[in-house]
A and B are shown apart, each in its own frame.
Chain A
Amino acid sequence: MPFTWRINITKNPKKGKPAIFTFEETPQVEVGDAVFWSNQDKVAHWPALVEQDDAFMPNQIAPKSTSPIFTPNVTGTITYICALHKDEGGVIDVAAAPPAPTPPPAPPPASTTGKQGKQ
């Protein structure tokens, strides 16, 4: 089952310092999970990928709202920054998804009472 991970964006209690990006829970993100940002700050933020040109967030996140979800499809470390504010950003470590289950055995034979007769 994919888990959903929330990264909170909160105002830095120290005046003039960058906003803080933190996972709500200790992150254990795997391929196929869902990740989103919840902007609890009073100003917009705009997470954008460092490594690739086509950053995954299509637009700014308005104050008091959330980003769309995205689902990492490769393992590794995703580094993001805020395109609106310097010194803001974070990393998302993405691990491999658990192995697929082995094919189930053939279904067992029907009950000894056979098919359901009248029903």
Chain B
Amino acid sequence: MEQHSTMRKLLLGLFAVLGLLPAVMLSVAAQQAPAQPAAAASTANCQGGQDLIAIPEIKRNPDGRLRAELELTSGKRTLWGSVNDPRCVQQDLRYFTGRDLFKPGSNDPAFAKGEPIPGPTLRARVGDLIEIRFLNRVDPQDFPFTLDRSETDPANTTGCDEARTSGGQLIYPNSGTNGDVMPNCLHGSSTANIHFHGTHTTPSTTGDNVLLFVTPALRSGKDRSIVRPGNALVKSEFDKIWAACEAKGSPTRWEQLPLAWRTSQKSLLQEYDRTAAYKGKPGNLPHDMRLWPANEQQIASGVWPQYQLGASPYCFRLANDKQAGGRPPQIMGQAPGTHWYHAHKHGSTALNVANGMTGAFVIEGQYDDDLRRFYGAGFRDQVLVIQQLSTQPFPVLQGNTKGPGSVPRPQLSVNGRLKPVVHMRPGEVQLWRIVNANYRSGVQFQSIAPATGLAWRQIAQDGVQLAFENYDKTLGTVNRQFNLAPANRADILVRASTTPGTTYAITVQPNEGIALDPTSSPGVRDNPVVLMTVSVDGPVVDPAQDFIQKKPDYPKMPDFLGDIPASSIAQRRTLDFGAVHNLIDGKTFNQNRYSQIMELNDAEEWTIKNEAGDKAHPFHIHINPFQITEVFEPNSENTSDPTKPCYVDPTNPQTWKPCKPFTGPFVWWDTFAIPTSVTKNLPATTCTTVDKCPAAIQEYTTCSSGQCSVTIAGYFKMRTRFVDYTGAYVVHCHILIHEDRGMMQLVEVVPDKPPYVHK
């Protein structure tokens, strides 16, 4: 590098001596003048106030299969700036398009309009078989230094995506105590996979497997338009894979896939290994960075190979607690409700989701049947995917991202538009399926203006309906504020006024600090914004519809969603999320270790703590939802007043718990923002050094210059059942850049019955 630098300086000096710089400047001016955009920038979708886009849907076949192509592609889409930024610019983004493979034709034209809409909504039913042809057709040349391990960057020394100032100073990856180190840094963002968030299915092989790395298809030809593997091969081989999956279930070993597909993958990966550039030279990839040798070793070990090139088949069945098709009932079943899918490759999850690699996944069941029975055949649902679109996972690389004066974050959009308009008929009740697909911010639904005439009631959380008691008395009360941490979903029934012609504004507040109590934790809160508006127009619904009021009219709660009793708990664990962005139990993600190992069919109770005072890390575990049984929010106002019964005494850990235990029925979640911690100063009369403080609080106390303070972690307790599926998956923070930077653990569910007998 020093040699290059010296050469560059010599060249610069030579140009200067020869008097070439003025000529360069003239040349520059001549070249810059005609700098025309490749396509005229459309500003239409930066204005707000347009109608909500209905995301194209791919629906299940009546025979119980959903068969879709999801193509990860790249191209220009129009993006807006953050608050105060008037720019409206076409940007290179990576995103999902798709089509129904049971129908002829190509992708819905809505994907080609340049608006940053989410991927197609998948609409299946409990017990269905999901067959996805996942294609990675990103052209990595559109994205700087991001294929796998920055191997095309001659100067890269970290393996991470590097960024510098215009002065040459490296600003990412950051150095120091919490500096990012491979693999816990941003890298490889043209490689992807799909996480089917909220599904209860196999985490292995062709299921909800986030340990896959699907790299971009190889490109060749003058305009790079020839891609391999080609469409014909993928179609013929995946059809065979799905036929076998339909007959026998998801494959368990790589050898079960057709030989032609395995041979093709081997050949393509070997070609990649031979030709990929490293340190600026094609064909120079070191052996330990090659993909096929890693696959070969995994296959020899009986493990599903990690690297797939250009395409990967998904085939998995959504769980069913009822016997169907000759298959025995499963213990948990799949909760019918609003789920979603998104890219989940470690190191690029935040950037990929910020680009828009998300979509809704509606799984129907008796919940939907019962709602339609009550409201009639014309009952409409609206899929609303909230996104925080950006080309970068940091608001501004060098900017202050917290507190007053911080740089603004990307604006919130819904289905690819700012402040869209939802139409409702006077007297109508709709079901809104809201997905917080933000890569970063929580969204607190605050208010409706004008305050009367339009109302909502929450009926489901994270794709699981509320028990009637909670709908009736707690979470589901009329116009109750609710917060969606990143990845949370809420189904709300929305009741329009009976008089046409009124427009209502729905105001939300982006944040990173709210667990349950909207008054808790100052955290990071952006200004409240209008997320969307509702226009009440069209023919009147007569008689006017209303919220469900009586339990007999309410959707029947599936039996498997009853409360998990304390008496059934076989194991208890505590996970401690750190004060910064990359630590669980004091460690960054270790790809070589299962941090938690659970036994199949065990019910467990986990206490999830948060040491951070400024952000409510959203805890997420794949495959199995959980029930919250206890929430402690030490930042709630009612914990600071010594005269109140919920007072938290910083010198007495016995008081560091909620004063109002939940009694059930408990609510199911799959992502929950862990309440923030609070740090309280101790008076000098209590202690001035740690060893003088009460013994019970010493491990939570720090002292400096005679001032001691105690950090009281927020926490929640949850119960879950590790049933139906063994395999490896992850728990992580759903502020996705925290996950990419190491706030994740690998976990494994192992069989509860050893395969051996003793006679």
Contact = CB atoms under 8 A, between A and B. Distances in A.
Partners in one complex: yes
B339 interface: no
B281 A100 contact: no
B580 interface: no
B409 interface: yes
A3 B153 contact: no
Of the candidates A1, A40, A72, A105, the one having the most CB atoms from chain B within 10 angstroms of its own CB is: A1
B177 interface: no
Interface in B388-412: 389-392, 394-399, 404-411
Of the candidates B164, B166, B665, the one having the most CB atoms from chain A within 10 angstroms of its own CB is: B166
A59 B4 contact: yes
B163 A70 contact: yes
A70 to B, nearest CB: 5
B517 A110 contact: yes
A118 B479 contact: no
A6 B20 CA distance: 26
A108 interface: yes
A2 B8 contact: no
Interface residues of B, number: 107
Interface in A73-100: 73-74, 78-79, 81, 83-84, 86-91, 94, 97-100
Contacts of B395: 1-2
Nearest to A87: B27
Contacts of A68: 144-145, 153, 155-156, 161-164
A88 to B, nearest CB: 7
A1 B92 contact: no
Contacts of A49: 166
A81 B165 CA distance: 17
Contact of B392 (A2, A22, A113): A2
B90 A25 contact: yes
B525 A38 contact: no
Contact of B526 (A46, A90, A101, A117): A101
Interface string B126-145: 00000000000000011111
B535 interface: no
Contacts of A84: 11
B409 A1 contact: yes
Contacts of B163: 34, 68-71
B154 interface: yes
B27 A3 contact: no
Contacts of B447: 108
A108 B91 CA distance: 36
A66 B145 CA distance: 6
B647 to A, nearest CB: 15
A6 B37 CA distance: 11
B21 A50 contact: yes
Contact of B23 (A2, A87, A100): A87
Interface of A: 1-4, 6, 18, 20-28, 30, 32, 34, 36, 38, 40, 44, 46, 48-50, 52-56, 58-60, 62, 64-74, 78-79, 81, 83-84, 86-91, 94, 97-105, 107-111, 113, 115-119
Given A66-B141, A111-B481, 4 more contacts: A1-B81, A30-B87, A71-B398, A119-B628
